[in-house]
């Protein structure tokens, strides 16, 4: 009989990390990989061929060895790409429902094949980390005898709501032809919440779409995980997190930021970046509004035009990130005629930029955001208050945290609809005025200090991360012993 795994490599642990192909999930997954590698783990980071193709097109000079700089600093991170079941030419932005179905029913076979191959390699993987919204993580980990870690990249509030959709259905707040509109006060760990503040997916009365099968399946898998790590922190969401920890192995370890916040060493941007630094240098401190609606959600052409007119009327300086597919990959001209000529040098519109760098610039005084979770955390870390324009998914719940709970932002919508262009202008001017937004800025600074404390050596998130690492090592070793024992019985 050959040597057991423990005899061959008593201290070696190999973790596979597989994020979904969305920027808001890829970015924290990169930071998780780097953080685990700094603790001595071997990491295999997996993207889809399509994601990698987008990354390389956005930065033509980038090496295929994306984690090369990390290995140069002594961290063992390997990089692999696999098929998502669709050809590269398939328009994933335009055909989202078909793509979601493929991620549920086709993509898992490609993941299974890869994990099976890695299971026969050296070092053999010990742990699989997949995003909580994936529907296959636990099953594949169990098949190959791996520890399973579910990685949640949104607020604890949203995890609480998604993990209790059965209660929402029983009470008629979700999944009905006519969902109830009264206050929801029965979700464990969540204070009374209005239906409008649920994830946008839970507002829908048509539950035949793929997402309504993804959510229950994904959270059933998450509840079987050995560990659930949150890109969130206890100080910002104490009640949801403490309640979840009573029944689930939850470790809040966020926010997961790059070591050099404004200039990360490892980047996987899906869009070509514009350098806004020289333009920003010419603008007074705190005078520029940064606007971005993220990498995935779509807006309507009408709303884009309303915001554009509001920015023209506001008179403020701005940088506006508008992806080419922000309305649709089939709709290219989304701004009003003569927009750039009207604003002149007062504003620039780009497809993408280094968001952390822009937010960190002293010229930027506020953020018009779609309320993606990464964007919120980055804005708070950079000390910028927000004006909120949520579009999809968790963003409606995130808005509640920003505006109602933490009081670090204001609304750009009323009753679920964007305000008029005149009101856009007034709210932008309110945010950008140091006097009117004084309370917002003071609250942002208080939260920034909480984040700093959580990420300090003895802070809650660092302590939780160290405990997660130690607990995972123990679970890995226990799993190896069981695997060796089972092998001996065969």
DSSP annotation of 136: S
Residues of the chain where predicted confidence (pLDDT) is lower than 70: 1-11, 62-63, 485-490
- pLDDT computed for residue 3 by the predictor: 34
Report helix, strand or coil for 317: strand
Q: 150 Cβ partners below 8 Å, 6+ apart? A: 129, 130, 131, 132, 137, 138, 221, 222, 225, 227, 228, 229
pLDDT score for 403 = 98
pTM for the structure as a whole: 0.94
For residue 129, which phi and psi values (nearest 5 degrees)?
A: -110, 120
Structural element, H or E, at residue 387: strand 386-388
Residue 262, Cβ neighbours under 10 Å: how many? Answer: 14
Q: pLDDT of 440-457, one tens digit each? A: 999 999 999 999 999 999
- pLDDT given for residue 63 in this prediction: 67
Output DSSP code: residue 336.
P
Q: Domain 277-451's class?
A: alpha beta
CATH 3.40.50.2000 applies to domain 5-261+457-489: yes
Q: How far apart are CA 132 and CA 220, in angstroms?
A: 10
User: How many CB atoms sit inside 10 A of residue 393's CB?
Assistant: 22
Domain ranges within the chain, ordered by starting residue:
5-261+457-489, 277-451
Q: Are the folds of 5-261+457-489 and 277-451 the same?
A: yes
């Amino acid at each position: 009989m050959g040597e057991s795994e423990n005899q061959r490599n008593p201290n070696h642990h190999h973790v596979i990390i597989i994020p979904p192909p969305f920027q808001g999930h890829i970015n924290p997954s990169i930071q998780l990989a780097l953080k685990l590698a700094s603790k001595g783990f071997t990491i295999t980071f997996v993207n889809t061929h399509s994601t990698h193709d987008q990354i390389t097109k956005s930065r033509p000079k980038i090496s295929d060895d994306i984690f090369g700089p990390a290995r140069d600093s002594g961290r063992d991170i390997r990089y692999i790409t696999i098929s998502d079941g669709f050809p590269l030419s398939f328009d994933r932005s335009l055909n989202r429902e078909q793509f979601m179905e493929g991620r549920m029913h086709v993509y898992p076979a490609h993941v299974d094949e890869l994990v099976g191959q890695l299971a026969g390699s050296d070092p053999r993987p010990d742990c699989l980390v997949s995003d909580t919204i994936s529907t296959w993580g636990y099953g594949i980990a169990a098949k190959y005898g791996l520890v399973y870690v579910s990685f949640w990249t949104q607020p604890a509030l949203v995890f609480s709501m998604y993990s209790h959709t059965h209660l929402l259905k029983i009470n008629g707040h979700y999944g009905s032809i006519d969902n109830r509109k009264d206050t929801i006060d029965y979700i464990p760990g969540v204070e009374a919440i209005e239906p409008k503040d649920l994830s946008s997916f839970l507002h829908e009365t048509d539950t035949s779409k793929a997402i309504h099968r993804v959510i229950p399946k994904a959270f059933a898998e998450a509840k079987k995980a050995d560990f659930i790590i949150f890109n969130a922190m206890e100080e910002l969401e104490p009640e949801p997190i403490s309640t979840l920890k009573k029944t689930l192995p939850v470790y809040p370890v966020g926010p997961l930021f790059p070591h050099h916040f404004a200039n990360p060493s490892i980047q996987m941007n899906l869009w070509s970046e514009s350098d806004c630094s020289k333009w920003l240098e010419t603008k007074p401190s705190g005078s520029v509004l940064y606007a971005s609606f993220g990498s995935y959600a779509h807006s309507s052409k009408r709303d884009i035009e309303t915001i554009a007119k509001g920015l023209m009327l506001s008179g403020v300086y701005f940088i506006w990130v508008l992806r080419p597919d922000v309305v649709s990959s089939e709709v290219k001209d989304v701004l009003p005629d003569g927009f750039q000529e009207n604003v002149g040098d007062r504003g620039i519109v780009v497809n993408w930029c280094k968001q952390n760098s822009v937010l960190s610039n002293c010229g930027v005084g506020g953020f018009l955001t779609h309320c993606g979770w990464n964007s919120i955390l980055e804005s708070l870390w950079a000390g910028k208050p927000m004006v909120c324009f949520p579009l999809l998914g968790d963003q409606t719940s995130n808005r509640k945290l920003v505006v109602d709970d933490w009081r670090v932002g204001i609304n750009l919508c009323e009753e679920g609809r964007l305000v008029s262009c005149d009101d856009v202008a007034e709210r932008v001017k309110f945010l950008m005025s140091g006097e009117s937004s004084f309370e917002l800025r003071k609250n942002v600074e208080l939260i920034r200090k909480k984040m700093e404390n959580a990420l300090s050596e003895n802070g809650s998130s660092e302590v939780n991360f160290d405990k997660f690492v130690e607990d995972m090592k123990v679970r890995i070793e226990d799993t190896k012993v069981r695997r060796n024992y089972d092998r001996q019985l065969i």
